[in-house]
């Protein structure tokens, strides 16, 4: 006979019954997840063959709605399901032994721990870290002149090297008139070939068909230029025509109708930039490489300049420090002081000569190097223009380029300029099993050509392509110098904040660039100016080296 006190104890613990029910459900769900079966299949027992045949035979007869289903009967020892419990059997369920309930609790806690470990292991194996795309959404400005540019892509480009008559005419018209034929509504041909041809044009002066005037390499020039060198009248005519073109181009720059231009001489190159380019509010000019003689000539013309790439700190010997002390003071006073201490006059002359020699050697250390770059701005840029246009020694009197003035390169037209197309060659390159489509451009490639081509490629939705460049080595210093911000910060008298880009954009709206390219060149961030020889684009993100 059961103890009534135990019955009362079991009746006062219905929460144990609910815990047992939850434990069964979680156990069945966990078993189904491990075996890869559904929960419904785990709950329903599979009938035997005899039962199946019996049910099939019975299905042919009329079913008695009051008959009990023998198949769905559960064993006596099985834990009853709350959903199938009748009102009469509720008291039997509530009268379970407390020891059995405790054992079920332990099993429930152990299964919960196993389930949590399995879930954590599944999460760890299913988690795959996603790498963030690397690159920048912009192309850096590279002021270095290029002689060759190659585009490569695993898919064919939307344009080809061979042009139709309408495509060549529309591209030429768009370049000469500074039209964005891809955005503006015009009657011109707006095909990719026409827009590509517009990116492959440049204005040049002078233009001598039988001579390669860019780059000026005396070793590669096989043509003898004796007839110009020996004819003084021809030399004067070329120089006069060049002065007219140079003056026209500089005036366009001053009124902000030309963003920049290059002066490529035999021994140096000059880059003139309009006010607003790189966020600088004045006209600026950079000259590289320079020599001690050229810098002395600029000083004699009272042209103030800075050398932003020159090393600021340098270890000096004791003898150099002694010589510098002599230079800082008045020469006559130094001579008198040396005589007063008993030094002979011959020894004084020897010291002065040695000091001058050391100082001259120190100034010549950076000659023809990147560190010799000269930077001028404002009225000094105007003075540099006057110096170059009046200096007849800017033309050499010997060699194959004797009597030929420097080459002027510009993205906009000017007096005496000649429209020169870049030479385009189309080919395919195979690298093992991979096939790449290549386009090679040869000629004077200005800084705005690459951003224009990349913008054109992005319109064609080409996912991946690469660019490799052949640079003119002596113009790399234009990019290394950034845009003179460091010079303005070093001099207390010239410290001034750069104007916002909006002023440069508004003042340079007629310079020949579209809005997107103009924003690119008016950016005042010095980190946007980088020197690179190769560039890769993947999903509109650029990386360069």
For every residue of 147-200, DSSP letters joined together read EEEEEEESS--SS-SS--HHHHHHHHHHHHTT--TTTS--SS--SHHHHHHHTT
**Exposure on the CB side of residue 458, measured as CA atoms within 13 A:** 16
Please give the residue range of the domain that contains residue 247. 146-218+229-310+370-484+499-544
On the 0-12 / 13-18 / 19+ scale of CB atoms within 10 A, 272 is buried
Q: Identify whether 341 is part of a domain.
A: no
Q: What does the block give as tokens for 227? A: 């007839």
Q: Identify whether 424 is part of a domain.
A: yes
Quickly tell me which residue has 């001259």 as its tokens.
Answer: 360
- pLDDT for position 259: 96
Residue with more model confidence, 397 or 291: 291
Asked whether residue 498 carries a pLDDT value surpassing 50, the answer given is: no
Highest mean pLDDT among 46-50, 236-240, 458-462: 236-240
- pLDDT for position 84: 45
Q: What is the pLDDT of residues 36-50, one digit of tens each?
A: 654 444 445 554 444
Q: Are 240 and 472 in contact (CB under 8 A)?
A: no
Q: What does the block give as tokens for 209? A: 């068909």
Asked whether residue 474 carries a pLDDT value surpassing 80, the answer given is: yes
Cross-strand pairs, 375:
286, 306
Asked whether residue 315 carries a pLDDT value surpassing 60, the answer given is: no
Asked whether residue 366 carries a pLDDT value surpassing 60, the answer given is: yes
- pLDDT for position 311: 72
Q: Identify whether 418 is part of a domain.
A: yes
- pLDDT for position 115: 60
DSSP 8-class letter at 306: B
Q: How many domains does the chain have?
A: 1
Q: Identify whether 410 is part of a domain.
A: yes
Mean pLDDT for the stretch of residues 148-177: 91
Mean pLDDT for the stretch of residues 205-212: 90
Q: How large a percentage of the chain has pLDDT more than 70?
A: 65
Q: How confident is the model at residue 338 (pLDDT cuts 50, 70, 90)?
A: low
- pLDDT for position 116: 63
Q: Identify whether 352 is part of a domain.
A: no
Mean pLDDT for the stretch of residues 100-122: 56
* Mean confidence (pLDDT) of the chain: 77
Q: Identify whether 57 is part of a domain.
A: no
Tell me how far apart the 2 most distant CA atoms of the chain are, in Å.
143
Mean pLDDT for the stretch of residues 114-120: 61
Q: Are 435 and 268 in contact (CB under 8 A)?
A: no
Q: Identify whether 438 is part of a domain.
A: yes
Q: How confident is the model at residue 433 (pLDDT cuts 50, 70, 90)?
A: confident
Q: Identify whether 355 is part of a domain.
A: no
């Amino acid at each position: 006979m059961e103890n009534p006190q135990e019955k009362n104890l079991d009746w006062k613990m219905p929460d144990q019954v609910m815990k047992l029910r939850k434990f069964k459900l979680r156990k069945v769900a966990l078993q189904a997840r491990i075996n890869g079966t559904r929960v419904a299949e785990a709950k329903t027992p599979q009938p035997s063959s005899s039962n199946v045949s019996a049910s099939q035979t019975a299905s042919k007869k009329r079913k008695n709605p009051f008959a009990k289903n023998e198949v769905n009967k559960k064993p006596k020892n099985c834990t009853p399901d709350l959903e199938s419990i009748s009102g009469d059997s509720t008291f039997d369920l509530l009268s379970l032994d407390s020891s059995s309930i405790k054992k079920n609790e332990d099993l429930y806690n152990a299964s919960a721990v196993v389930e949590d470990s399995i879930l954590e292991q599944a999460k760890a194996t299913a988690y795959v870290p996603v790498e963030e795309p690397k690159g920048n959404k912009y192309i850096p400005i590279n002021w270095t002149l290029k002689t060759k540019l190659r585009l490569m892509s695993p898919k064919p480009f939307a344009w080809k090297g061979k042009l139709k008559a309408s495509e060549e005419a529309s591209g030429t018209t768009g370049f000469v008139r500074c039209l964005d034929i891809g955005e503006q509504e015009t009657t011109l041909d707006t095909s990719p070939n026409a827009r590509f041809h517009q990116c492959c044009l440049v204005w040049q002066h002078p233009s001598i068909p039988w001579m390669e005037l860019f780059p000026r390499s005396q070793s590669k020039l096989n043509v003898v230029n004796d007839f110009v060198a020996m004819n003084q009248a021809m030399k004067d005519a070329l120089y006069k025509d060049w002065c007219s073109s140079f003056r026209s181009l500089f005036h366009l720059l001053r009124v902000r109708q030309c963003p920049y231009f290059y002066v490529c001489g035999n021994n140096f190159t000059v880059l003139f930039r309009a006010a607003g380019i790189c966020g600088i509010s004045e006209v600026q000019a950079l000259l590289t490489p320079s020599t001690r003689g050229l810098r002395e000539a600029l000083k004699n013309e009272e042209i103030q300049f800075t050398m932003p790439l020159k090393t600021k700190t340098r270890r000096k010997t004791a003898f150099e420090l002694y010589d510098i002390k002599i230079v800082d003071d008045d020469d006559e006073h130094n001579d008198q002081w040396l005589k007063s201490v008993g030094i002979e006059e011959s020894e004084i002359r020897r010291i002065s000569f040695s000091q001058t020699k050391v100082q001259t050697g120190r100034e010549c250390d950076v000659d023809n190097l990147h560190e010799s770059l000269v930077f001028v701005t404002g009225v000094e840029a105007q003075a540099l223009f006057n110096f170059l246009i009046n200096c007849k020694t800017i033309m050499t009197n010997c060699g194959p380029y004797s009597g030929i003035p420097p080459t002027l390169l510009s993205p906009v037209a000017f007096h005496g300029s000649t429209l020169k197309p870049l030479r385009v060659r189309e080919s395919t390159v195979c690298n093992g099993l991979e096939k790449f489509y290549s386009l090679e451009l040869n000629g004077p490639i200005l800084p705005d050509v690459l951003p224009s081509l990349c913008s054109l490629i992005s319109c064609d939705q080409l996912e991946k392509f690469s660019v490799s460049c052949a640079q003119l080595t002596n113009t790399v210093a234009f990019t290394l110098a950034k845009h003179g911000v460091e010079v303005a910060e070093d001099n207390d008298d010239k410290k001034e904040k750069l104007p916002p880009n909006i002023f440069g954009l508004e003042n340079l709206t007629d310079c020949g660039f579209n809005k997107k390219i103009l924003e690119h060149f008016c950016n005042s961030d010095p980190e946007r100016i980088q020197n690179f020889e190769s560039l890769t684009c993947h999903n509109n993100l650029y990386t360069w080296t």
